[in-house]
Structure 1
């Protein structure tokens, strides 16, 4: 790195004269910045007194360097850069203000130099080189960028903590929920859904860049990486939003993903996460895909009491579960398709790509093995709960 040239000694008396007028110079700078830099117009972002004081400090900083002939301390410029970053000032506007301020100060120095006796061209060139390499704006820029990086990290930490509180149920007060929704960029009213995706490994996101991808579909969301899952709450307020969500997930899909039923209140987020986990559990043996939790009463009962539902599944379907795997899976698939077809044998046959007589045979076999008639509504309800429980607890 090249050494910053020293300030020419001949300039020191001029700088000392200007240093006595630093307050006037600072105010002149501030007025010029106000007139030429849009961000600083009016008191909305930076009050005039604050801007003038900052300009005065920067004038004094530069002039003292010229008086002393050294490089000086960049602390004032650095503090200005950090303060403007905290205020949200665009960096381009900050640098524009520095350019305008530098023009004012350079003009003042040049005016003094023109009236000075014995000031050589070499001294003017030396002053110009010192001015270019003085680094005032560069120091402000570096401090600005450092502060922005720290603010981004701080906000991301705060955001991550809020998302975790949302999923764990620590946010229950409505006012707090509204504040959290505002920070997370979520609407304060639903519907929402929770998405749970299996991570490919510890600390690795299952759906990298998913928040930005959803924003392209005008879907706002907040995400959290857990040890085993990448989870997010997604606002699905507009028509067909859930279908748009599924399309985005399908394009990013490399793992198994569970999606909860929609819900209206952010206080229901922990319950929705449990349902998304259950939907994911139901994909036992499938390497990739999306499972949406069935919002039927039977599925919700299973989710509310998974242990008891597992016991019901084993008890109700015991005879079927004892069969060889191929026959067991055929019968359970037939029952599932019969439910999907609203109890229509012909509809189930279409879903299974087989003859309706084959479906009738399998259903009679199920009735024999379970001791339950598909013509008895109570027996049908038992089988529906058992089938949902089996789907959501495949290892039972």
Structure 2
């Protein structure tokens, strides 16, 4: 059996292979069983394109394959929220099952044919995976920037008390993911350079302790709203002390998001109470005296 005969057989077998790969992906990767994430028709279409491209590459007709479809698949999976490892796992499952199909059908004497095809298949597999990855990562970066811009705008609405499209502070807090049944504080840190974070990684650090927060960076200040349970205040202070590289003020605890503009003022007042150039965190003076931390 020569490569032409083997690939002609594989091309006739493609519809069945697409069905088999589709079923295997949904069986092995739980996320793809959720039709609300990736609709079955979407998955099937991308598999059909990928497998058709690979057979075309092996047959020397790869020029007929529109590789921009792979770019669009990578972008779409990023927008759908599918993790990149799962996207690439689908690609590997399809490539592996195509190879198994060819190897199982080839006659024992067709080792040379399989060796030649293997090199072509794995090179194409890598090239396709690279295109998927690059498109996915570029879109993920764009989505992250858009998310940060949106969150910053929502935080600004809380700080200014501005109603946006008749949305009050409570609804804005929900959009930011801030639990409404806890206590709140505002943290304000001065920037050490123009629009440069002085609490680097603070949102991630707080999230590691299951503390939800939302932040805004301006040319002179990095400020955030932090939602706390009763037992999380001291943990928050530890995270702030570890992250702070400049003067940082913390407002008193409060409960209503409508009080956020006033809390921001108090956090800035606490910041101003620290000596310029000092790397420190200071809570707004409570009744009975100041409370530097």
Q: TM-score range by the shorter chain?
A: 0.7 to 0.9
Does 2:267 align with 1:276? yes
Alignment TM-score, normalising by the size of structure 1: 0.62
Report the Cα offset of residue 12 of structure 1. Answer: 4.5
Does 2:78 align with 1:78? no
Report the Cα offset of residue 273 of structure 1. Answer: 1.1
Does 2:127 align with 1:138? no
Q: Note the alpha carbon deviations across 1:130-180, whole angstroms, 9 max, x for none.
A: 001012233223322222222222222222222222222224678554453
Work out which of the residue numbers 180, 183, 190 in structure 2 matches 1:188.
180
Which residue is 1:164 aligned to? 156
Q: State the number of aligned residues.
A: 285
Q: Which has the higher contact order (CA 8 A, sep 6+)?
A: 2
Structure 1 gaps, min length 5: 1-9, 297-338, 341-396
Partners of 1:35 and 1:246 in 2: CA distance: 46
Work out which of the residue numbers 79, 99, 118 in structure 2 matches 1:106.
99
**Secondary structure of 1:140's aligned partner:** helix
**Match runs of 1:22-33 below 5 Å:** 22-33=14-25
Which residue is 1:320 aligned to? none
**Secondary structure of 1:235's aligned partner:** strand
**Aligned-pair RMSD on alpha carbons?**
3.1
**Secondary structure of 1:89's aligned partner:** coil
**Match runs of 1:1-396 below 5 Å:** 11-12=3-4, 14-41=6-33, 43-70=35-62, 72-110=65-103, 113-114=106-107, 121-134=111-124, 135-171=127-163, 177-239=169-231, 241-283=232-274, 287-294=278-285
Q: Greater share of strand residues, 1 or 2?
A: 2
Change (3 A) 1:52 1:194: same
Q: Note the alpha carbon deviations across 1:292-349, whole angstroms, 9 max, x for none.
A: 33466xxxxxxxxxxxxxxxxxxxxxxxxxxxxxxxxxxxxxxxxxx86xxxxxxxxx
Q: Is the 8 A contact 1:260 1:276 kept in 2?
A: yes
Partners of 2:61 and 2:27 in 1: CA distance: 33
Q: Is the 8 A contact 2:206 2:212 kept in 1?
A: yes
Alignment TM-score, normalising by the size of structure 2: 0.81
Change (3 A) 1:179 1:132: farther
Change (3 A) 1:196 1:106: same
Partners of 1:25 and 1:254 in 2: CA distance: 58
Report the Cα offset of residue 199 of structure 1. Answer: 1.8
Q: Is the 8 A contact 1:190 1:266 kept in 2?
A: no
**Secondary structure of 1:200's aligned partner:** coil
Q: Note the alpha carbon deviations across 1:59-113, whole angstroms, 9 max, x for none.
A: 2222233444446442233322222222222222222222221232223334554
Partners of 2:100 and 2:205 in 1: CA distance: 51
Q: Which moved more, 1:286-295 or 1:81-90?
A: 286-295
Which residue is 1:366 aligned to? none
Partners of 1:124 and 1:37 in 2: CA distance: 29
Change (3 A) 1:24 1:252: closer
